[in-house]
Amino acid sequence: DIVMTQSPDSLAVSLGERATINCKSSQSVLYSSNNKNYLAWYQQKAGQPPKLLIYWASTRESGVPDRFSGSGSGTDFTLTISSLQAEDVAVYYCQQYYSAPITFGQGTRLEIE
C-alpha cells in the first residue's frame, strides 16, 4: 500500500494569513504515460463528509474558492490556503488514487490562531 503522511498534524493560522499543509507519499503517484499526479485533497468540517477540493494534485474542483491551491509532483505535495477565512476551519486530507488500495493521509487539523 502507498502510505500518505501529512505534516503538520495540526496548524493554527491567523485570519487572512497563509496556511500550508504538506503531504508525502511513500512512492511516486505520478503516472508517466499521462504526466498526471494521482493525488487529491479534501476538506472535512465537523459532522460532515469530506469535500473534494483538488484533484490531479492541482486542479480545483468546481465551486471551490480560488484561495485553495494544490502543488507538487511525484511524492511531495502541498495544499495552500492563501488567505485563511473562518469557514476554512476543518480537517484536511490528502488521498492517492495511483494504485489500489486508495489511501488517505492521517489528516491535518486547521484552526484559527
Residues at the interface with another protein (CB under 8 A) = 36, 38, 40, 42, 48-52, 55-56, 61, 93, 95, 97-98, 100-107
Return the number of the residue (36 or 67) whose C-beta is nearest another protein. 36
Return the number of the residue (54 or 84) whose C-beta is nearest another protein. 54
Quote the cell numbers at residue 90: 476543518
Shortest Cβ 106–another protein spacing (Å): 5
Query: Using CA atoms, how far apart are residues 89 and 111, in angstroms rounded to an integer?
Result: 5
Shortest Cβ 71–another protein spacing (Å): 16
Shortest Cβ 19–another protein spacing (Å): 20
Return the number of the residue (85 or 99) whose C-beta is nearest another protein. 99
Residue 32 φ then ψ, to 5°:
-65, -30
Q: Between the CA atoms of 48, 39, 78 and 5, what dihedral angle is there, to the nearest 10 degrees?
A: 80
Instruction: Considering only the C-alpha atoms of the chain, give the largest distance between any 2 of them, rounded to a whole number of Å.
Output: 43
